[in-house]
Structure 1
Amino acid sequence: MNAAFDADAIRARAEAAITVALEVGRETARFRHDSDPGSLAVENKGLQDFVTIADRRAEQAIRDGLLSRFPDDTFMGEESGGRSGEGGTWVVDPIDGTTNYIRGFRHWGVSIAFVVGGKVEIGVVYDAAGDKVFHAVRGSGAFKDGLPVHAAATVDPVNALVILGHSRKTSFDDHLALSRRLHERGMDYRRMGAAAIDLVRVAEGAADLYYERHLNAWDMLAGALIAEEAGAMVAMPPVDKLLAQGGPVIAHSPGLAGEFAFILDIEGLAPVAI
């Protein structure tokens, strides 16, 4: 770890991020409720205006909440951009699962990661469905509202539940082929549309796999750390590469490692310490 970020410095940032994620997540949920975007036609420009305002408001609130406390940190957000710095960098998706958020499907959240020296030191995810905050500090376990969470102990694929993401940047035929292969092994699967939340579902043992071939760093880093600290096996490219160009992520319960090894082969990855 960078010498400027000892355990106390990381702990202080984790506590701040938890507070900010909860406050911004709840305010973003209120904003949707009060704005009633469901009354807008999907094609209506007013809907896009609503999305833009919601995203920007949330990201600005996160930026202000974190940088007011830690002004020397750098900030990289989905809406405002930015670059990682030599010190610590906050990597933020203010509303992960934007389409779900618009439509009132409560599978969306706020994702905040803190990266130092190419390592994710803190991951915080606000889960709108349960009004809960998941968090992890590297090496210290994973928690949901302060209580420990653990990856599932599933060993039989017939009992497995998997979540698959899909990006339009990748082949839909490949996505279908993967779905078929998992189906033939007896697994049930979902596509939910919010990577950060999908990853914490693996962390809390509600799902046994989350895999998507291409995500941006702000979509995955916080949830990936939480999943790994909960005991899941996680594979993704190096953090610096993800910050620059995005990439795949795989997180799964350890008892099914043999079932999901072929996905690692597809991506040319191995489980890594985030």
Structure 2
Amino acid sequence: MTDLADRLRMALDITKDAAAVAMSHFRNSPDIATKSDQSPVTVADTQTEQAIRDGLARAFPSEAIFGEEFGRSGDSQDIWIIDPIDGTRSFITGLPLFGMLLGYLQGGQPQLGIIRMPALNEVYAGAVGQGARCNGAAIAVSDCKTLSTARLFVNEGDKLAAHEPQVFARLIHSGELRRMGADCYPHALVARGLVDAVVDYDLQPYDYLPVSAVVQAAGGVMTDWQGNPLTMESDGRTLTAATPELHAELLALVNA
């Protein structure tokens, strides 16, 4: 058995190598296709995921892999979960806020996570019982306990406005400072203590499970909109908060 610290070190090496694949296509106008859910995909997505899969297969040959582009392989209960380019729309428009996500689950529970930001040269990593780090330096969430003083990100605002208009209307009047965003980076900034909360919508397991491991390792809270732990079966609506008190206020707001 490989312990979590060793797994994390190996996973960091794997994602570092794969980041070079993604960056070789960044701002180089890769061909864009549209998937069945109308989301874009590029050769960078598929090649980057394949690089991560190849690294995982060499390091952990008996373990399952589930990725955005190629689905699931293997039937082990120990499973790696991949989003090779989280934020393909950012990637194809030259915005450096796309990320690379890798998580490891045992019995359906996230044990470690990596949020790598290739164009920013930042990598956030955390594991159960090991804390969280950014580029090797320890990080932790803020101590913000009230929504009125919170630095709040509202992710996927266009989808929220269309499908949860009452929630969106409450969110845009909440927090001391508000920003609209998308993808993994606002959650990473919660782990770093620079942002206090993120409300997110319409995510897939490979979007939220690796991120949740980092946030929780940094001392934060990340759940679905009912306050339940995130699993492969969660509905894709998530709340990330620095403290339980702030998380409770967000729960009350989205369920008012």
Question: Counterparts of 2:185 and 2:146 in 1: how far apart (Å)?
Answer: 24
* Stretches of structure 2 lacking an aligned partner (at least 5 in a row): 35-39
Corresponding residue of 2:196:
208
SS in 1 for 2:71: coil
Question: Counterparts of 1:238 and 1:105 in 2: how far apart (Å)?
Answer: 31
**2:32 aligned with 1:47:** yes
TM-score by length of 1: 0.80
Corresponding residue of 1:218:
206
Question: Counterparts of 1:105 and 1:30 in 2: how far apart (Å)?
Answer: 15
Alignment match of 1:172 (pick from 161, 164, 172):
161
Residue 184 (structure 1) shift: 3.0
Taking a change above 3 Å as real, the CA distance of residues 157 and 247 of structure 1, as seen in their structure-2 partners, is closer
Question: Counterparts of 1:156 and 1:167 in 2: how far apart (Å)?
Answer: 22
**2:3 aligned with 1:9:** yes
**2:179 aligned with 1:190:** yes
**2:239 partner letter:** I
**2:241 aligned with 1:252:** yes
Residue 55 (structure 1) shift: 0.7
* Stretches of structure 1 lacking an aligned partner (at least 5 in a row): 38-45, 267-274
Instruction: Select the structure that is richer in strand.
Output: 2
**2:165 aligned with 1:146:** no
**1:248 partner letter:** R
User: What is the aligned length?
Assistant: 247
Corresponding residue of 1:92:
82
**2:128 aligned with 1:134:** no
- 2:14–2:52 CA contact under 8 A, matched in 1: yes
- 2:197–2:240 CA contact under 8 A, matched in 1: yes
Q: Deviations over 1:37-60 (max 9, x none)?
A: 5xxxxxxxx433994311110000
Greater displacement, 80-89 / 56-65: 80-89
Corresponding residue of 1:272:
none
Residue 92 (structure 1) shift: 0.4
Taking a change above 3 Å as real, the CA distance of residues 192 and 29 of structure 1, as seen in their structure-2 partners, is farther
Residue 10 (structure 1) shift: 2.5
**2:8 aligned with 1:23:** no
**1:214 partner letter:** D
**1:128 partner letter:** P
TM-score by length of 2: 0.85
Alignment match of 2:97 (pick from 96, 107, 127):
107
**1:184 partner letter:** H
**2:48 partner letter:** A
Question: Counterparts of 2:137 and 2:83 in 1: how far apart (Å)?
Answer: 24
Taking a change above 3 Å as real, the CA distance of residues 246 and 183 of structure 1, as seen in their structure-2 partners, is closer
Residue 147 (structure 1) shift: 1.0
SS in 2 for 1:94: strand
Question: Counterparts of 1:265 and 1:245 in 2: how far apart (Å)?
Answer: 17
Question: Counterparts of 1:263 and 1:138 in 2: how far apart (Å)?
Answer: 29
- 2:124–2:132 CA contact under 8 A, matched in 1: yes
SS in 1 for 2:115: strand
Corresponding residue of 1:43:
none
Question: Counterparts of 2:216 and 2:104 in 1: how far apart (Å)?
Answer: 15
Question: Counterparts of 1:253 and 1:137 in 2: how far apart (Å)?
Answer: 17
Greater displacement, 84-93 / 48-57: 48-57
Residue 260 (structure 1) shift: 1.6
- Give the share of equivalent positions with the same residue, in percent: 23
Question: Counterparts of 1:84 and 1:118 in 2: how far apart (Å)?
Answer: 15
